[in-house]
Amino acid sequence: MKFFKNNFCKINKNYTCSSLEDLLELLFVNVGCLTMIQVGANDGVLCDPLRKHILNKKLKGIMLEPQRIVFERLKENHKNSEGLIFENVALGETEGTTSLFKVDESLIIQYADLSGVASFDRNHVLNEIKSNKRRLTFTQNKVAQDYINEETVNVVSYGNLIEKHELKEVDILMIDAEGYDYEAVSMFPYDKLLPKTVIFEYKHLSKSLLIKLQAMLEVRGYLPFFTKNDALFIHVKN
């Protein structure tokens, strides 16, 4: 789409990007309503750079959030938003169920950002609790491991999600999968449906996995832009 290429040429030549929000501002200049798949939508408010554009009626589509409590908050926070489909599922290669590890609510009350820490990897959640320990107060005799809860969640594949909702195009694929980002980006069926923009958090990825993702996307015609924690790839050529 022409507006993507025109707006993002400004970054290459004249523009230094400091945040994902800056990139998104360029994305939404002079556009109508775009279609998204958002993997790991959380509550639709916390650390969500897409919220502004949803409220401005620039964005519609599917929002995935596997945590049941957080999913209810997501629906409530977007109860007046139009064109959204909410799915209380995790993303995976095949349909079924799996264990999701998350932070206990007693810590989330102390530091709200921890509500976004939910992962298939228990150690990832443990490390996030430990890295934020200075913000938290543990009950006497409890340690970080005691604040990890396990929840059984439903799993959906991209293919079934696309088929179920009869998606014909995706302008933005946004992923915040807490350590599962490599898989969530790489398993998308690009040969069947090519997102115009792919956004993901790379701070949890090893350098080697980030290089692999970048190479995979560039071969498919994507141009990369990086901020401190996030990567945005825009499709610029066939």
- What CA–CA distance (Å, rounded) separates 51 from 58? 10
Mean pLDDT score, 57-72: 96
Average pLDDT over residues 90-104: 95
Task: Calculate mean pLDDT across residues 9-20.
Answer: 55
Start-to-end CA span in the chain (Å): 11
Residue 109 scores a pLDDT above 80: yes
Query: Confidence band (pLDDT; 50, 70, 90) for 15?
Result: very low
Answer yes or no: is pLDDT of 37 > 80: yes
Check pLDDT > 70 for residue 13.
Answer: no
pLDDT of residue 16: 47
Higher pLDDT, 31 or 174: 174
Q: What is the rounded distance in angstroms from the CA atom of residue 219 to the CA atom of residue 204?
A: 23
pLDDT of residue 14: 40
Whether the pLDDT of residue 159 is over 60: the answer is: yes
- Decide if 174 contacts 202 (C-beta within 8 A): no
Whether residue 28 is predicted with pLDDT greater than 90 in this model: the reply is: no
- Regarding whether 192 and 82 lie in a shared domain, the answer is yes
Whether 8 shows a pLDDT value over 80: the answer reads no
Q: Which two tokens stand for residue 108?
A: 């989330």
85 and 110 housed in the same domain? no
**Does position 50 have pLDDT exceeding 50, yes or no?**
yes
Tell which wins on pLDDT, 17 or 120: 120
- 193 exposed, middle or buried (CB, 10 Å; 0-12, 13-18, 19+)? middle
The fraction of the chain above a pLDDT of 70, given in percent, is 92
C-alpha 145, offset from chain centre? 25
Please say which residue of 124, 152, 180 terminates a domain: 152
Residue with more model confidence, 5 or 55: 55
Q: Which residues contact 1 (CB under 8 A, 6 or more apart)?
A: 171, 196
Write the DSSP assignment of the chain as a string of letters.
Answer: -HHHHHHHHHHHHH----SHHHHHHHHTTT---EEEEEES-TTSSTT-TTHHHHHTT-EEEEEE---HHHHHHHHHHTTT-SSEEEE--EE-SSSEEEEEEEE-HHHHTT-GGGGG-EES-HHHHHHHHHHTGGG--PPTT--GGGGEEEEEEEEE-HHHHHHHTT----SEEEE--TT-HHHHHHTS-TTT---SEEEEE-TTS-HHHHHHHHHHHHHTTEEEEE-SSEEEEEE---
Same domain membership, residue 121 and residue 25: no
Nearest C-alpha neighbor of 108 from the set 57, 149, 77, 72: 149
Supply the pLDDT for residue 25.
86
Question: Closest by alpha carbon to 116, among 76, 81, 59, 73?
Answer: 73
pTM, whole model, 2 decimals?
0.90
And the tokens for 3? 């507006």
Instruction: Tell me, yes or no, whether 91 and 168 share the same domain.
Output: yes
Q: 113 and 139 share a domain? A: yes
CATH code of the domain covering residue 220: 3.40.50.150
Is the pLDDT at 49 greater than 90, yes or no? yes
Q: Are residues 76 and 162 in the same domain?
A: yes
In a shared domain, residues 90 and 193: yes
Residue 200 has pLDDT above 80, yes or no: yes
For range 82-96, the mean pLDDT: 95
Q: What is the pLDDT of residues 111-149, one digit of tens each?
A: 999 999 999 999 999 999 999 999 999 998 999 999 999
Rounded to the nearest integer, the mean pLDDT of the chain is 91
On the CB side of 142, how many CA atoms lie within 13 Å of its CA?
16
53 lies in the same domain as 41: yes
Q: Which domain holds residue 163?
A: 2-95+157-235
pLDDT at 66: 96
The answer to whether residues 172 and 34 touch, using CB atoms and an 8 Å cutoff, is yes
Residue 12 has pLDDT above 80, yes or no: no
Q: What percent of the chain has pLDDT over 90?
A: 79
Tell which of 152, 169, 189 closes a domain. 152
